[in-house]
Structure 1
Amino acid sequence: MTSEVRLENSAKAVILDRDKVLLLRYLDRKMGLGVWYSLPGGRQRFGETLEEALVRECREEIGAEVTPGRLLFVREYIHSRHELAGTGRDQHKVEFYFLAELGTEISADYVADESVSDEGQQGLCWCSLANLHDLNIFPTGLRQLGNTLNADDAETYWGDTY
């Protein structure tokens, strides 16, 4: 018997402040990840553009308005092919990563509303692009974000490799 897996889109924000990127910090106690990091953003709702999804998700997760910029890259994530296969929700996502500008300041003590934030989300942090390789960050390809942003020939389709 096969279970039906939905294909879903997700919009993610790459928000920069000079040589730093804004990250969400999580604490996972279910799948053994411990502390981990990700970019703000999330699932697109039916009838919503990717840019509208990005704005809504950032409002929910970081408590700030953003203005979406150019599309940087696209990544697929097929859960059953990665290290967490067999845990959590089986999913197949297509993630669209946009450069985004903060339209309002973020508060250092912002705590996301539990009714709309992701489970385990603990806070926000600015991380140096040079130090991303030291973090437990998902997707792991983001460890090379500084190189991606500075390369004229950077790959725009990441596939399901990270």
Structure 2
Amino acid sequence: MNDILFRTENWIFSYRVAGIMIHNNKVLLQKPTNDTGFAFPGGHISFGETNAEALIREFKEEIGADISITDLKWVAEIFFPWGEKPCHQICNYYQVTLTDKTQIPLDGQFISSEHLEGRDFTIEFHWIPIDSMNDIEVYPTNAAELLSLLGEGVQHFVYREG
């Protein structure tokens, strides 16, 4: 598939979608083994793919889980360093639920893998108690506040790292 991921001489542009999955007051987060922070599971949109199609595909590819998508919750404009270049990323976050609760562990952590730009990465998935979100490094850094606003409609935010 062709991800919507552009590189210019000075910038990288990324179009991503992520899922907010909550079970027993815990949220599912991913942590690449080469990173110190957590993020919401998801991935890049491919050309011709809807947000929903990409999110369903990413959850199936990365953790073998079938999901249903409920509502768009957050629209993010994210700026962060990607290697030696700055990245401008648009990420839409949707609330998602498992359609089959036997496909993944529903507590603790488990390991999976991801393939991006010709390389394979190991990813840890962790169920993090929502009330512990302020105690960990998570992207976006305002995730705990955003989770408290899930019932308030769609939230838009700009996140600048570094």
The TM-score range, normalised by the shorter chain, is 0.7 to 0.9
Deviation digits for residues 73-124 of structure 1 (CA, Å, limit 9, x no counterpart): 1001122xxxxx3735532111000000111234337532454698654321
1:11 partner letter: V
* CA-atom RMSD in angstroms: 2.8
Higher strand share: 2
State yes or no: 1:122 paired with 2:118: no
In structure 1, the partner of 2:135 is 134
CA contact (8 A) 2:10 2:86 kept: no
1:1-162 correspondence runs (5 A): 3=9, 5-28=11-34, 33=35, 35-79=36-80, 85=81, 87=83, 90-105=86-101, 106-108=103-105, 110-115=110-115, 120-150=121-151, 152=152, 156-161=155-160
2:72 partner letter: L
Give the count of matched residue pairs.
Answer: 149
Once the 2 structures are TM-superposed, how far is the Cα of residue 3 of structure 1 from its aligned partner?
1.6
Distance in 2 between residues matched to 1:69 and 1:58, nearest whole Å: 15
Residue ranges of structure 2 left out of the alignment (5+ in a row): 1-7
CA contact (8 A) 1:73 1:97 kept: yes
Once the 2 structures are TM-superposed, how far is the Cα of residue 36 of structure 1 from its aligned partner?
1.9
Distance in 2 between residues matched to 1:145 and 1:103, nearest whole Å: 24
Matched position secondary structure for 2:142? helix
Relative to structure 1, is the Cα distance of residues 88 and 120 closer, same or farther in structure 2, using a 3 angstrom cutoff? farther
Distance in 1 between residues matched to 2:100 and 2:155, nearest whole Å: 28
Identity %: 23
Relative to structure 1, is the Cα distance of residues 139 and 20 closer, same or farther in structure 2, using a 3 angstrom cutoff? same
Residue ranges of structure 1 left out of the alignment (5+ in a row): 80-84
1:18 partner letter: N
Once the 2 structures are TM-superposed, how far is the Cα of residue 161 of structure 1 from its aligned partner?
4.9
Distance in 2 between residues matched to 1:148 and 1:68, nearest whole Å: 18
TM-score (norm 1): 0.77
Q: Would you identify which runs of 4 or more consecutive aligned residues in structure 1 move more than 4 Å?
A: 116-120
Matched position secondary structure for 2:92? strand
CA contact (8 A) 2:76 2:156 kept: yes
2:157 partner letter: W
Distance in 1 between residues matched to 2:21 and 2:29, nearest whole Å: 8
